[in-house]
Amino acid sequence: MDVLTSTAIKVTNPINGTILYEIDDPSEKELQDIFERARSVQRRIQAMSLDDRIKEVDKILQYVMQYQDLILDIIIAETGKSRTDAFAAEVFEVCDVVDVYKKMAPKVLKDRNVAIPVFLMGKKAKQFIEPLGTILVITPWNFPFYQVIVPSLMAFLAGNAVIVKPSEVTPLKPLWEHFFAKSDFMKDAIQVVVGGKETGARLVDMRPDKVHFTGSVRTGKRIMEACSKQLIAIDLELGGKDPSIVFDDINIDRTVNGVMWGAFTNAGQNCTGIERLYVQEGIYNKFIDELVDKTKKLRPSFPGRDITTDMDCDVGSMTAPFQVKIVEDHINDALEKGAKLLCGGIKEPGSMHMVPTILGECTHDMKIASEETFGPTIAVMKFKTEEEAIRLANDSPYGLGASVWTKDMDRGYRVARAIKCGNVCINNHMLNEADPYLPFGGVKDSGFGRFKGEEGLLTFCNLKSVLVDKMSDMIDPHWYPYTATKTTLLKNLMDSWFSKSRKYIKFAVNGLKIDTIGKKERLK
C-alpha cells in the first residue's frame, strides 16, 4: 500500500462544507518504514535503464488518459475549482509534462564529455549524471495533482526514489489510492504520505537527500532552517505578487480578456496569478471600464451550484477558509486606506464563494498591493512612463512572475528584462508554467532553484565531475618535487599560450621539456 491511512485532520469539500474523510499523522515507525522502502527501491531505480524509467512514467500518462474524469471529480471535490481550471492546469498539463520529459530526459540525463583547459592538456573530463537518492517533495493545496505528480516523475526519471507529503488541505487520498491500484506504477518508487505539517517536519528530519518544497514563504523558511541542521539541499518554490504592466498601444479587448484570466483563473489561488495591475494613463479609463464590465459578467461558483458537472462556471470557489480570511483582510485594508471598489467585494463574509474583485486607486502601502493575496482580486494602479512601470513592478519583496502587454516588441523585451523575477510573459500571463521546456522558479522572497526545463531535471541529480588521466610512467609538472626549473617551464607555457599573440613553437618546446622532466624527476 503506497498511501497511509489515518484519522484526525478533516478534509472538507469547500463548495458545500461536507467532510470528505479524515487523516492523521503516521507513526514514527511508519515513517521510518517509508524511508527504508525508498532507500531500498532507489537502488533498483538507479539500476534501471532510462528507457525502462520512461516506460514507468508513461503509465502516468496512460492513467490520466483513462481516468481523467475521476481525477477531475476528486480534485474538484477537495479544491472547489471550476472543472475547466482543473482540466487545463492539472490534467492536460500533466500529460504535456510526461510527453515532454519522455523526449527531454534521454538528452539531459546522459553522461557528458567536457572540455579541459590548457593546464590539464592530455587529460579527459566527463560528467556523470547520477541520482541523489531519496527526494522529499512537499506540496501546497492549490494544484494538488500537478504539484505532486510533476516533481515526482522528474525526480524518478533522474533515478531517485520519491516521498511526497501533499498538503493536508487537499491530500487527494482517494486519488492516490486509485492511482497506485490501477496504474501499475513501480511499487514504492513514489510514496505519498498523507499527514499534517508535523508529518512534513518529521520527514525532513529523517534526512532525505533533497527537499523540493512548494508553498508559503513562512513555511519555506522554516523548512530551510530544518534542512540547514543536517545540510540537506533544498529547492524553494515560494509565493509571488505578480505585476502585470499594460501599455497604451495594446489591443484592449484581447488584453482585458487575458488579464482577467491571469488574475481570476483558479480563483486567483496561483503563485503566479496577476495580483497587481499597472495600466498606462492614456488608456486607463477605457481599459478599466472594459475590465470591470467583463469581470461582472464572469460566472462564479455559488452555494448549491454543482460545479463538478456544471462546465459553465468560470471562477470556482476558494479552497481554504484561512485563505478567505486573508483575502478579506486585504480587501478591507485597501478600502480603509482609500482604494475604490470597482466591482465584486465581500458579498458574504467568510463565504468560500468569493466574487472577482477589482480595486482601483491602490497604493503600495496597502496589503492588496504588497502582500500575497492569493484570491480573486486585482489591485489596479496607473502609470505614466516605462521607467515608472518598471520601478513599481520591482517594488516588491517577491520576484516570481510578471507580464508585459504591448504591441512594441522591443519595449516588451526591454521591460521583461528589467523586471526582477524568475518568469515573465509578453502579451500573456503565467504560461511559462505551462511550458515544461522552460525552467520555472523565483528570485528574492519567491525562492530559488529551478524546476522543469533541463535545469529542473538536473536539480534532482548529482552532477559528478570525473577527471580521467592515463596510467603511465609520467608524473604531472605540478606534482612534487617542486623545482625552479619546473616552475619556470610552467611559467613559459603560460606566457606563450596567453600572450596577446599565441606563441605555438615556444609552447611546444616548453611542453616537451616538461614531459621529459615528468618522466625523470622523482623524490627519492
| Binding residues for ligand ADP (CB under 6 A) | 138-141, 165, 167-168, 196-197, 200-201, 204, 215-216, 219, 222-223
Residue among 322 and 482 whose Cβ is closer to ligand ADP: 322
- C-alpha distance from residue 359 to each of 129, 141, 318, 373, 468 (Å): 50, 26, 19, 13, 63
Catalytic annotation, pick one of 271, 362, 421, 461: 271
> How many C-alpha atoms does 240 have within 13 Å on its Cβ side?
33
Say whether 271 is catalytic: yes
Radius of gyration of the chain (CA): 28
Round to whole Å and give the CA distance between 55 and 509: 55
Asked if residues 248 and 280 have their Cβ atoms less than 8 Å apart, the reply is yes
Residue 374 C-beta: closest distance to ligand ADP, Å: 8
- Which has the closest alpha carbon to 453: 469, 429, 432, 436? 436
Residue among 201 and 341 whose Cβ is closer to ligand ADP: 201
In sequence order, what are the residues at sequence separation of 6 or more whose Cβ sits closer than 8 angstroms to the Cβ of residue 15?
Answer: 76, 77, 80, 301, 303, 305, 307, 317, 352
Residue 358 C-beta: closest distance to ligand ADP, Å: 24
Residue 208 C-beta: closest distance to ligand ADP, Å: 11
Residue 192 C-beta: closest distance to ligand ADP, Å: 11
Enumerate the β-bridge partners of residue 24. Answer: none
Catalytic annotation, pick one of 93, 237, 275, 386: 237
Residue among 197 and 337 whose Cβ is closer to ligand ADP: 197
Round to whole Å and give the CA distance between 78 and 211: 25
Residue 225 C-beta: closest distance to ligand ADP, Å: 9
- Which has the closest alpha carbon to 202: 32, 42, 33? 32
Residue among 50 and 201 whose Cβ is closer to ligand ADP: 201
Residue 384 phi, psi dihedral angles, 5° rounding:
-100, -55
Residue among 169 and 343 whose Cβ is closer to ligand ADP: 169
Is residue 283 helix, strand or coil? helix
Residue 243 C-beta: closest distance to ligand ADP, Å: 21
The one-letter code for the residue type at 492 is N
Enumerate the β-bridge partners of residue 508. Answer: none
Residue among 158 and 172 whose Cβ is closer to ligand ADP: 172
Say whether 168 is catalytic: no
Q: Which residues are catalytic?
A: 237, 271
